[in-house]
Structure 1
């Protein structure tokens, strides 16, 4: 079951650093909006996460993401604030989809602007590592054996630990 687009993809207001939504997003539109009007931007780094058709060797036919409205946005805003303080980035944007998703659908966008590439790369990875481990999302996969909730991965916790 692929996600259907019901409206054209447009950028969110530049002030909206965190957006939780069911509809798809357009990387090009979002990055253009993030860097618009900032002549000090020398680097843009982005990450797009997608739904895989396998997890742990099992075929995955669909995934559903749930979140805690209000708490999720607040948690991600705090992650972005830490990235701004730590890496001196100009701006950041996180779009995270919820609801039913199919293999190959986009799940998450993390985009960062900064004066130089090193800080942009690090901040993008920092935000993504914290999203995977600390943001309040719950993932349920559909497999041949039925639905199952997905636990946090040890590798995600290890990735997060290096930023401590």
Structure 2
């Protein structure tokens, strides 16, 4: 389950719990999610986590439910042995390292590695609009997004 899916699931559960009036026990049992951001995009990673924290606070979640961790590779390596579950989005080489470390403690791991997503531009598009979307798709999250566009296929009539 991706972080986004977990957040959506948590939001649904929190809303249901709020209506049932038993949030305190739910919070007591809630696990903190640690979000280790890339050392190459620490500012944007911290900004993203603040957005998550604000959204969770809006539904009554505890303030420290999602925590951000910054640091280099050593920080990530240390986290692998401390967490109960790891969800990693990034390069295949780091994914392999995480998998090797997680084997020792049998930590469940979900990996999304090295996406090579395509962007197809057909002949009947609004070029100005598609150009803006294409740039955003390629450069979003400082290119730290596994779903970011890596390949563009442009119709020959547009390309010319």
TM-score by length of 1: 0.28
Q: Using CA pairs below 8 Å that are at least 6 residues apart, which structure has the higher relative contact order? A: 1
Name the larger-Rg structure: 2
Normalized per residue, the structure richer in helix is 2
